[in-house]
Amino acid sequence: MDDFKKRKLEEAGNGDASSKEELRFLLDPLAKPQLVDLLAKLGSQYPSIAEEIKSIASADPVHRKLFVRGLAWNTSSETLCAAFQEHGEIEEGAVIYDKATGKSRGYGFITFKHMESTHCALRAPSKLIDGRLAVCNLACEGLSGASNAPDLSLRKLYIGSLSPEVSSEMLLNFFGRYGEIEEGSVAYDKDTNESRGFGFVTYKTAEAAKKAIDDPEKTLGGRNIIVKYADFHKGKTGQPSVVPMTALPMAPGYVQMQPVKTHVTNPQVGYNYPQTVASYPAPSYPSPPTAVVPYPSVSGKSTAPVGMNNYPYYYPKQ
């Protein structure tokens, strides 16, 4: 009797293995979206499957770790964790400091215990931490997951001529009237933590940025401020055109000199130095003749070449 039961259990076990291989064979040709839909459907129907999916998805911390940038220089690791704990249990969180100076480098990392907490933080609006708007993305994406969309140049603004009293919070409140802001702050000096008189605001849409530029009302903190696209502030407005020497017409018989690069110590505004300056050697002239000899005549006729009768002298070969 015991042998019969043992044989039945072995057959059942072999049957499960065979069934598992058959399922693998059926699932193998399915595309990823089909598999995701299938597992999502099963997970919603069976809680045990849902827990298994969560456990496997959260096993690798790469799916739970966030990169947080745009932090104030005085933001601590404790402050950073406190700002993100609303989304779920935090496994680890820290601000990154410079080893040489001991000061914050303006970014940090947050690792949640569960993957769904990470997704919740990614969907949430940017957080205002110590007066700075902090932005986050998956750490595995690095800076490639930051605000580098093709239209970033149409969404990021440079704000100049700011009063020292204007804080990042005031800046964001002022420009928030035009649309939702993705990132923005006043630029502060790392050593003194004082305003440098300018800042940046990145909108989520190009339309909002254009509204901010087109609005004639540009007074903040008692000053008229400058508002323009950030790329223009970085010097991408174009360089002065220089016509290459090869394009210039040259008179016959002249040889074009090669330019020599030199460094100018006092550059003029509007040009990028060092400039290319052409250097030419001093011209040389033939030495004067050592003697002047008249053309001889035969039978009263000059032997000078044709056309040279009016020139009674010639230069002998040296």
Nearest to 309 by CA among 297, 291, 299, 317: 297
The residue written with tokens 């049957």 in the block is 15
Indicate if 169 and 226 belong to the same structural domain. yes
Answer whether residue 306 is part of any domain.
Answer: no
Nearest to 75 by CA among 67, 83, 66: 83
Long-range CB pairs of 180-189, under 8 A, 24+ apart, other chains included? 180/125, 180/204, 180/205, 180/208, 181/126, 181/133, 182/126, 182/135, 182/147, 182/155, 183/70, 183/126, 183/133, 183/135, 183/147, 184/133, 185/70, 185/72, 185/131, 185/132, 185/133, 186/162, 188/72, 188/73
Residue after which a domain boundary falls, among 91, 126, 145: 145
Query: Distance between CA 208 and CA 103 in Å, rounded?
Result: 35
Residue after which a domain boundary falls, among 187, 215, 233: 233
Tokens of 70: 């745009």
Tokens of 228: 């323009």
Residue after which a domain boundary falls, among 115, 145, 175: 145
Helix (H, G, I), strand (E, B) or coil at 66: strand
Indicate if 204 and 223 belong to the same structural domain. yes
Answer whether residue 78 shows pLDDT above 90: yes
Per DSSP, helices labelled H in 28-86 are 32-45, 47-57, 77-84
Indicate if 115 and 158 belong to the same structural domain. no
Query: Distance between terminal CA atoms of the chain?
Result: 133
Alpha-carbon dihedral sign for residues 132, 137, 139, 145: negative
Query: Distance between CA 205 and CA 25 in Å, rounded?
Result: 46
* Phi/psi of residue 176, nearest 5 degrees: -70, -15
| Number of domains forming the structure of the chain | 2
CB count within 10 Å of CB 77 equals 17
Answer whether residue 114 is part of any domain.
Answer: yes
Question: CATH code at 197?
Answer: 3.30.70.330
What pLDDT is recorded for position 188?
A: 86
Angle between helical axes of 47-57 and 32-45 (0-180°, round to 10): 130
pLDDT in tens, 116-132: 999 999 998 888 898 88
Q: To which H or E segment does residue 26 belong?
A: helix 2-27
Q: How confident is the model at residue 303 (pLDDT cuts 50, 70, 90)?
A: low
Answer whether residue 250 is part of any domain.
Answer: no
Indicate if 162 and 139 belong to the same structural domain. no
Indicate if 157 and 116 belong to the same structural domain. no
Q: Look up the pTM and report it.
A: 0.55
Answer whether residue 118 is part of any domain.
Answer: yes
Helix (H, G, I), strand (E, B) or coil at 2: helix
What pLDDT is recorded for position 246?
A: 40
Answer whether residue 294 shows pLDDT above 80: no
Answer whether residue 86 shows pLDDT above 80: yes
Q: How confident is the model at residue 113 (pLDDT cuts 50, 70, 90)?
A: very high
Q: How confident is the model at residue 287 (pLDDT cuts 50, 70, 90)?
A: low
Provide the residue range defining the domain that includes 138. 61-145
Q: Is 112 exposed, middle or buried (0-12, 13-18, 19+ CB in 10 A)?
A: buried
